[in-house]
Amino acid sequence: MQTLQEVKEELISEFELFDDWMDKYNYIIELGKELPMIDAQYKTSEYLIDGCQSQVWLHAEKQDDKIVFTADSDAIITKGIVNLLIRVFSGRTPQEIIDDDLSYLDAIGLKEHLSPTRSNGLASMIKQIKMYAVALQIVK
**Catalytic residue positions, numbered:** 52
State the burial class of residue 49 (Cβ atoms within 10 Å of its Cβ: 0-12, 13-18, 19+): buried
Q: Could you tell me the sign of the dihedral formed by the alpha carbons of 35, 38, 44, 47, in that order?
A: negative
For 48-52, which contacts have Cβ atoms below 8 Å and span 24 or more sequence positions?
49/121, 49/124, 49/125, 49/128, 50/124, 51/120, 51/121, 51/123, 51/124, 51/127, 52/78, 52/120, 52/121, 52/124, 52/125
